[in-house]
Amino acid sequence: MVYATSDGSAGKRLRVGMVGGGRNAFIGAVHRLAMRLDDQIALVAGALSSDPENAAASAAEIGIAPERSYADYHAMAKAEAARPDGIEAVVIVTPNHLHAPIATAFLEAGIDVICDKPLSTTLGDAEALVALAKAKKRRFVVTLNNTGYAMVRQAREMVMAGELGRIVSVHGAYIQDWLTKPIDAEGQKQAEWRTDPARAGQSAVLADIGVHAFNLASFISGREAEAVSADLFTAVPGRRLDDNAHVLVRWTDGARGTILASQTSPGHYNDLSVRIHGDKAGLEWSGGRPEELRFSPYGEETRTLVRGGHGSTAEARRVSRMPAAHPEGYIEAFANFYRDAADIIRAHRSGGTVDPARAAQVPDVVDGARGVKFVAAAVESNAAGGAWTAARFGG
């Protein structure tokens, strides 16, 4: 066992800038932790807040030079594109409704994009971004970051290798409790924008967490959603958007399943899981125990596959830093994602490419658009009394 310890990147770190992620924001700081772990990325510019004072102070705090702290993302795109040492990629960590305009601005400036999920709040925006990225020939990564877990990668490899046989059912769920009470109405900032149709989109719970469950189920199983039948509802009286979604899914190649998302379920802080059954075996992963896979070949007893353990696949070993049972977690998974994203963008910018199988593991703008299509289809089905609704992007 040799582990990827990921230092030694001096001189070739990818130069990135960040839009969003100033003080009081949540996810921007998480991105920065993930970027830093493997020393592959240099964060050198930012438009960290729409409030100029906050933007400048936030930049100072995290060591961005004053002249590369911008009050406005348009200015940032323009200025950085003009610098010889300008950023190679932008990291977008704003509320949902800003993803599309910001990404557009940087793509237009010839800068690659690393954008948080959901890709956009409308299907039209998603389609436009797919087209623009293609036209501009830019890499566009969407941080559906749970795909970075080593055992999620292993699960995908096992499905692709046929270890489950013909896939029969694919279930994903993302269950939380933090919106059990009306904290959005009471002004909690994270809750407030995530339940605001103007900033979150048509569905709060699907945009915030449902797309993760959908993406992960799709990523591991290798299936896209063909059609959905959805029941979306709001548990907390007065909330402006849904906080629970129960979605039946018909996947490509004949599998069926469900995607459940809830933010009002006491007992589940942050419970993401995927369960897949084929005619040869079953496979389950849960974010609460991310270092394990439960693998059940039909006719044999269930095995607990451990990251770094005796049954590790090549990909799981590639993205492991520590031996078995020295737990890696959320940040490590996110860092795997960033390491791959950095390699893909660096290779692309220098006229090269990374191994296609490896590149395929990093969700891109099309994967992001698939998530947006899934949300749109679920909203439409719900409005139509649960009618089966086509859900395949580009399909």
- Site residues for a second copy, window 372-391 (CB under 8 A)? 385-388
Minimum CB distance to a second copy, residue 112 (Å):
23
Amino acid identity of residue 103, one-letter, is A
3 state SS of 208: helix
Footprint (CB under 8 A) of a second copy, residues 252-281: 256-258, 260, 262, 264-271, 277-281
Of these, 15, 74, 78, 181, which contacts a second copy (CB under 8 A)?
181
Is 347 a binder of a second copy (CB under 8 A)? no
Name which position in 157, 282, 359, 366 contacts a second copy (CB under 8 A): 282
Q: Which is nearer to a second copy, 157 or 231 (CB)?
A: 231
Q: How far is CA 175 from CA 105, 232, 268, 287, in A?
A: 34, 14, 6, 11
Q: For residue 341, give the amino acid letter.
A: A
Q: Which stretch binds a second copy (CB under 8 A): 44-52, 198-206, 230-238, 368-376?
A: 230-238
Cα angle value 361/362/363 (rounded, 5°): 115
Q: Which of positions 11-70 make contact with a second copy (CB under 8 A)?
A: 11, 26, 29-30, 32-33, 36-37, 39, 61-63
Contacts with a second copy in 102-121 (CB under 8 A)? none
DSSP conformation letters of 314-374? HHHHHT--S-TTS---HHHHHHHHHHHHHHHHHHHHTT----HHHHTTS-BHHHHHHHHHH
- The minimum distance between CB 280 and a second copy, in angstroms, equals 7
Tokens 């569905």 — which residue? 203
Q: Restricting to residues 139-168, which ones interact with a second copy according to CB under 8 A?
A: 168
How many residues touch a second copy (CB under 8 A)? 93
Residue ranges in 236-255 that form contacts with a second copy under rule CB under 8 A: 236, 244, 246, 248, 250
Strand partners, 64: none
Residue position matching structure tokens 């402006």: 240
User: Is-contact 69 55, C-beta < 8 A?
Assistant: yes
User: Residue 233, interface with a second copy (CB under 8 A)?
Assistant: yes
CA distance 118 to 113: 14
Which of 54, 122, 180, 252 touches a second copy by CB under 8 A? 180
Q: 140 vs 149, which CB is nearer to a second copy? A: 149
Distance CA(91)–CA(112), nearest Å, equals: 9
Please give the structure tokens belonging to residue 9.
């990147």
| Closer to a second copy by Cβ: residue 103 or 211 | 211
Name which position in 108, 177, 192, 380 contacts a second copy (CB under 8 A): 177
Q: Which of residues 288-307 bind a second copy (CB under 8 A)?
A: 288-291, 294-306
Amino acid, single-letter form, for residue 168:
V
Between residue 304 and residue 343, which ones bind a second copy under the rule CB under 8 A? 304-306, 308-311, 321-332
Q: What is the number of other CB atoms lying within 10 angstroms of the CB of residue 269?
A: 11
82 in contact with a second copy (CB under 8 A): no
